[in-house]
Amino acid sequence: MFDNLSFKLEKAFQTLKGQGSITEVNVATTVKEIRRALIDADVNYKVAKEVTDDIKAKALGRDVLTAVSPGQLLTKITNDELTELMGGTHQDIKLDGNPSVILISGLQGSGKTTFSGKLASYLKGQGKQVLLTACDIYRPAAIDQLKVLGEQIGVEVYAEPENKDAVKIANNAIKHAKDNSKKIVIVDTAGRLAVDEAMMDEISKLKEALNPSETLFVVDSMTGQDAVNTAKAFNDRLNFDGVVLTKLDGDTRGGAAISIRRVVDKPIKFISTGEKMDAIDKFHPDRMANRVLGMGDVVSLVEKAQQTFDEEEARRLNKKIRKNQFDFNDFLSQLEQIKKMGNIKDLMGMIPGMGKALKGIDVDDDSFKPIEAIIRSMTMEERESPELINGSRRKRIADGSGTSVQQVNNLLKQFNDMKKLMKTMNKMGGGKKGLAALN
The answer to whether residue 112 forms part of the interface with ligand GDP (CB under 6 A) is: yes
Q: What is the DSSP letter of 251?
A: S
The residues facing 130 across adjacent strands are 184
Judge whether 107 is annotated as a binding position. Answer: yes
Instruction: Check the annotation: does 430 bind a ligand.
Output: no
Out of 71, 99, 150, 191, which residue is the one contacting ligand GDP (CB under 6 A)? 191
In the chain the first and final C-alpha atoms are separated, in Å, by 29
Within 13 Å of residue 352, how many CA atoms lie on the same side as its CB?
A: 22
Q: Which of 40, 29, 31 is nearest to 7 (CA)?
A: 40
Task: Please choose, out of 110-118, 165-173, 353-361, 376-384, the segment that lies near ligand GDP by the rule CB under 6 A.
Answer: 110-118
The reply on whether position 106 binds ligand GDP by CB under 6 A is yes
Half-sphere exposure of 307 (CA within 13 A, CB side): 14
Residue from the set 75, 272, 300, 401 that interacts with ligand GDP by CB under 6 A: 272
Single-letter code of the amino acid located at 131: L
CA angle (268 as vertex; 181, 158 as ends), nearest 5: 30
Residue 223 as a binder of ligand GDP (CB under 6 A): the answer is: no
Q: How many residues bind ligand GDP (CB under 6 A)?
A: 18
> Which residue in 15, 273, 403, 424 binds ligand GDP (CB under 6 A)?
273
**One of 70, 87, 111, 352 touching ligand GDP (CB under 6 A):** 111
The enclosing H or E element of 292 equals helix 285-292
Q: Render 189-242 in DSSP notation, one character per residue.
A: E---SS--HHHHHHHHHHHHHH--SEEEEEEEGGGTHHHHHHHHHHHHHH--SE
- 191 marked as binding residue: yes
Residue 191 or 352 with smaller CB distance to ligand GDP: 191
Q: Nearer Cβ to ligand GDP, position 253 or 419? A: 253
CB neighbour class for 44 (10 Å; exposed up to 12, middle 13-18, buried from 19): buried
User: Is residue 274 part of the contact set for ligand GDP (CB under 6 A)?
Assistant: yes
Bridge partners of residue 186, in order along the sequence: 102, 132
Q: 132 - beta bridge partners?
A: 157, 186
Stretch that binds ligand GDP, among 85-93, 201-209, 266-274, 355-363 (CB under 6 A): 266-274
Torsion of CA 286, 287, 291, 293, to 10 degrees: 30
Check residue 71 for interaction with ligand GDP (CB under 6 A).
Answer: no
Any known ligand binding at 168?
no
391 among the known binding-site residues? no
Which one of residues 20, 88, 109, 125 is an interface residue with ligand GDP (CB under 6 A)?
A: 109
Single residue of 201, 236, 275, 336 touching ligand GDP by CB under 6 A: 275
| One residue of 19, 29, 91, 108 binding ligand GDP per CB under 6 A | 108
Q: How far apart are CA 282 and CA 299, in angstroms?
A: 12
- Give the range of 47-55, 273-281, 334-342, 370-378 binding ligand GDP by CB under 6 A: 273-281
**Interface with ligand GDP by CB under 6 A: which range of 69-77, 104-112, 314-322, 366-374?**
104-112
Instruction: Name the residue nearer to ligand GDP (CB basis): 70 or 111.
Output: 111
The least distance separating ligand GDP from the CB of residue 39, rounded to whole angstroms, comes to 24
Q: Is 269 in the site for ligand GDP (CB under 6 A)?
A: no
114 binding ligand GDP? (CB under 6 A): yes
Closest contact distance (angstroms) between CB of 180 and ligand GDP is 25
Long-range contacts of 422-431 (CB under 8 A, 24+ apart): 422/298, 422/321, 422/324, 422/326, 422/352, 422/353, 423/324, 424/72, 424/75, 424/295, 425/290, 425/295, 425/296, 425/298, 425/352, 426/321, 426/322, 426/324, 428/75, 428/76, 428/79
For residue 132, which of 147, 142, 112 has the smallest C-alpha distance?
147
Bond preceding residue 70 cis, omega within 30 of 0: no
Among residue numbers 236 through 265, which ones bind ligand GDP (CB under 6 A)? 246-247, 249-250
Closest CA to 344 of 393, 314, 304, 375: 304
230 binds ligand GDP (CB under 6 A): no
Any binding-site annotation on 274? Answer: no
Smallest gap from Cβ 279 to ligand GDP, in A, equals 6
- Which listed range, 7-15, 34-42, 78-86, 106-114, lies at the site for ligand GDP (CB under 6 A)? 106-114
Pick the closer one to ligand GDP by CB: 109 or 430: 109
Q: Which amino acid is at 235?
A: N
Output the known binding site for GTP. Answer: 106-113, 188-192, 246-249
Binding-site ranges for ligand GDP (CB under 6 A): 106, 108-114, 191, 246-247, 249-250, 272-275, 279
